[in-house]
Each structure stands twice: as C-alpha cells, then as structure tokens.
Amino acid sequence: MRGPIEPFKIKMVERVRILDQEQRTEAIKNAGYNTFLLRSEDVYIDLLTDSGTSAMSDDQWAGMMLGDEAYAGSRNFYNLEKSIQEVLGYKYVVPTHQGRGAEHIISRVLIKPEKNIVPRNMYFTTSKAHVELLGGEMPDVVIDEAHEPENEYPFKGNTDLDKLERVIIEKGAEKIAYVNVEMNVNMAGGQPVSMENLRKVRELCNSYDLKVVFDATRSSENAYFIKEREEGYSDRDIREILNEMMSYSDACIYSAKKDCLVNIGGFLAANDKEIYEKARNLVVVYEGLHTYGGMAGRDMEALSRGLREGTDARYLDYRTKQVRYLGEMLMEYKIPIVKPIGGHGVFLNALKFFPHIPREQWPSQTLAAAIYEGSAVRTMERGAVSRGRDHKTGENIFPNLELVRVTIPRRVYTNTQMEYVAESIKEVYENRDRITGLKMVYEPRDLRFFMARFEKVA
C-alpha cells in the first residue's frame, strides 16, 4: 500500500471537469497568468489553498441544521466558546468572520503610533498588511533555517530568541506592540514551532513585560508535529499539547478556515482580560455583535464541532501523511521542494526549478501558471510577488524563499488525485527549459498577489 489510509468514507461527491489543452492556455492567459484570477470551474484539482476548502463531516452538516440565528446570545456561540475553552484552553472568545477579521481587531487593540513594532517568526501577507496599515512594522525573527529550503531542521518555525531580543533592545521594549508567533509557519512551508521554543519566547517576553499573541491558525497540525518530533510529547493527547502551547500566550488570532475544517470563520481568543474587553468592544464596530462576530449561528456550530474533530489523532495522522505522500513522490522525481515536508502542503522551490528565469521575471508565478496550463491543477505563488515592495524605498523585495505552494485541502482529494498532481508537476519539470518568465503589467498597492496581472516575456 502506498498512500495513507483515510479515516472516513465519502457520502457526497462534486463533479469536476478537465479543460483541454487549448482551453487551459486560453484560461490562464485571460487570468493574467495569476492563478487567483482563474474561475474555479476551469480548475480540475484546486490546490490554491487549504483555507476554507475542507470537506465537512456529517456531524458538522448536522450541526448546520441546528443554527440558532438569533442576533444576540446564539446557543451556537456558547458551544463554540466551550469548544475553544476545552480544546485550546483560552478563557475568553471573540468570534470574527475569518482570520483577518481577528488580525484587524488585535492590531487595533494593541498597536499605537508610538508602539507599533510587531516582531514575528516570518510574515504572513494579511497579518503584515494589518500592522502596516496602522503605520507599524513587522521585523522577521524566525530562525535562519526557515529561509533555507533544503535545511531539514524539524522545527523550522521557531523564533530566533537572539534576533528577537536584538529587535527589543534596538527598537526599545516600549515600542513593541506585541510579539507575534505563528504556528506551522505558512510562508516557510508549513513548518512547526517546538514547545520548548514557545516556552522560551514567553520567558523572554516576560522579562521585558511584553504581550505574546499567537497566530494559532494551524496549531492542531503544529501540535501533531510536537507529538511526533519533540521529546516528552509522544504519549500526550493533542488537546493536552494544544492547551500547553496556548498557555504561553496572552491571546491568539485564529483563521478557522484551516484546521477547524470549515469553509468560513475565525476568532480571537484570550487569557488577558484587558485585551478581551477591548476586542469585544471593537468587534461590534467592525464584524458584528460579540456573540456572532460576522458568522451565522450555523457557521459557529460547524466550527465548534470542526475544532474538536480536527484534533483527532487518527485524522491528523492521515492528513499529514497525505501531504507527505505527495511530497515524497515529487522527491522521487528529483523535483526541488522545501524540506522537511510541511503540514498543509508541499512547497516547490522555483529558484531551483527554473534556474534560467531571473527573479525579475517572477519564477514562482511562472511555475504556478505553467502547472495550470499543463494539467488544470491550481497552485499558488509564494515568493516575491506575495512579499511585495519595501514600503520605504518602493523597491521589490526578493526573499530567499521563492516558492509555489501546492496546498492540500482537508479530506477533499484522493490519493490517486495526488498521483495525478505529482505526474503533472513532473511533466512541467521535464520541459522546464522551454518555459520563459513573466512581466507584471498590473500591480495593486496592497496584497498585490491577489489581483496582479502578467504577460509572457517574449
């Protein structure tokens, strides 16, 4: 047996089609060679993101029918609050429509003009945008290994404590709005943070009296890696591990569209009462009343159930192994990927894939477009286009990691479909010398990767 065993069976299916070669060439050209601008119906296997793309269980769908759509005090809010208290261990919960809603709120609560530095273990696009829109900065304090695609360090998401302390001393502790730690760091390739590192970040922040806020979006998958790789945790329950992880923070923001197996939703959770009270006041301005925060009652119910389901060890084992199944096939084909294979997808190293394409011609964007054109598989650029420009100099920033994210939705695709994806990427790799780069012809100011347009370089 090659692929991982699914701990579920399929009750409902959705038809998908594969456009022929000519139609795919036309579709990607019309989309300005930006996979975000493709129509979903023109995609066969959609590996753009693991966000909001999960298949819900029968129990979650049953929960949708129990939506209490009251404006205030919905029963589903209290179920959600209880799930978060039990699974993550936070005392207070503020629901939001999705993760960036919570990012907006936490930024407004903690960032002030004179206190606007938010060190983080590698940026995420929307997290950085919220800090910058309030005039702040997000210095990178992840360990160097995270920027090295081939480095096999098991906890590449760790915060570099020396880098963090240097930022605190150089900028002044009074200028730090909060220290932000992301779980299973997305832009590094879904790389986990160790428990020991979380504990040490907390200790360092205590010594400077700084708040610690987690981006706990992929914390269940991170907890699985702690159980698998960190000494002393192999016999611990995932929820126990999650409770310990979160105990090292004052609050977290959470996009529930990933590990909670739902299509929409998010929240801010806190142990710090002051953060909670301020967030609860702001949520009514920007999202909705503090007992729904932009979600319908039924969405809160599905989320409440999904948070629990997503911490089941058998499910997490299958989930992680399916991502590895794809990654290991690509490695067999000698395709350059980020190692170790991460939690939510396989990340292709475009600089090694296309050494002949200069960075100014966007190798990752080119690769994502070529994969679609070849096979109707949709992936996402995660390199210089996503990174954007330096706000002070206006220059493009070219990060070490110039990647294409092949992101696996949860419980959606079969192992056979993973084999199709691996074969499709192999075909592009075999023809790589014939592929030329792109030029950007339209560039929005903020989060440009979503809507930028490109043309083929002659």
**Site map for ligand PLI, 165-204, x if CB under 6 A?**
-----------------x---x------------------
- Catalytic (active site) residue 449: yes
**Site map for ligand PLI, 261-280, x if CB under 6 A?**
-----x--------------
- The catalytic residue among 53, 125, 291, 366 is 125
Residue count at the site for ligand PLI (CB under 6 A)? 15
217 forms part of the interface with ligand PLI (CB under 6 A): yes
Scanning 55-63, 124-132, 170-178, 384-392 for contacts with ligand PLI by CB under 6 A, the matching segment is 124-132
- The catalytic residue among 24, 100, 227, 258 is 258
Question: Could you tell me if 131 and 137 are in contact, meaning their C-beta atoms sit under 8 angstroms apart?
Answer: yes
- Catalytic (active site) residue 258: yes
Pick between residue 123 and residue 276 the one whose CB is nearest to ligand PLI: 123
Pick between residue 413 and residue 429 the one whose CB is nearest to ligand PLI: 413
- Minimum CB separation of residue 91 from ligand PLI in Å reads 22
Pick one of 54, 107, 116, 127: the residue that binds ligand PLI (CB under 6 A). 127
- Minimum CB separation of residue 98 from ligand PLI in Å reads 3
Two structure tokens written together for 443: 């560039």
Three-point CA angle 322, 263, 239, nearest 5°: 60
User: Of all residues in this chain, which one has the CB nearest to ligand PLI in the complex?
Assistant: 99
304 forms part of the interface with ligand PLI (CB under 6 A): no
Scanning 65-73, 122-130, 152-160, 220-228 for contacts with ligand PLI by CB under 6 A, the matching segment is 122-130
Pick between residue 186 and residue 361 the one whose CB is nearest to ligand PLI: 186
Write a three-state SS string for the chain: CCCCCCCCCCCCCCCCCCCCHHHHHHHHHHCCCCHHHCCHHHCCEECCCCCCCCCCCHHHHHHHCCCCCCCCCCHHHHHHHHHHHHHCCCCEEEEECCHHHHHHHHHHHHCECCECECCECCCCHHHHHHHHHCCCECCECECHHHHCCCCCCCCCCCECHHHHHHHHHHHCHHHECCEEEECCECCCCCECCCHHHHHHHHHHHHHCCCCEEEECCCHHHHHHHHHHHCCCCCCCCHHHHHHHHHHCCCEEEEECCCCCCCCCCEEEEECCHHHHHHHHHHHHHHCCCCCCCCCCHHHHHHHHHHHHHCCCHHHHHHHHHHHHHHHHHHHHCCCCECCCCCCCEEEEEHHHHCCCCCHHHCHHHHHHHHHHHHHCEECEEECHHHHCECCCCCCECCCCCCEEEEECCCCCCCHHHHHHHHHHHHHHHHCHHHCCCEEEEECCCCCHHHCCEEEECC
Pick between residue 124 and residue 233 the one whose CB is nearest to ligand PLI: 124
- Catalytic (active site) residue 353: no
298 forms part of the interface with ligand PLI (CB under 6 A): no
- The catalytic residue among 71, 398, 442, 450 is 71
124 forms part of the interface with ligand PLI (CB under 6 A): yes
- The catalytic residue among 33, 44, 92, 124 is 124
34 forms part of the interface with ligand PLI (CB under 6 A): no
- Catalytic (active site) residue 71: yes
Pick one of 34, 35, 51, 375: the residue that binds ligand PLI (CB under 6 A). 51
Two structure tokens written together for 147: 């920027």
Pick between residue 51 and residue 311 the one whose CB is nearest to ligand PLI: 51
Q: Which of residues 76-105 bind ligand PLI (CB under 6 A)?
A: 98-100
126 forms part of the interface with ligand PLI (CB under 6 A): yes
Residues labelled as active-site residues: 71, 124-125, 215, 258, 382, 449
Residues of this chain that interact with ligand PLI (CB under 6 A) are: 49, 51, 98-100, 124, 126-127, 182, 186, 215, 217, 255, 257, 266
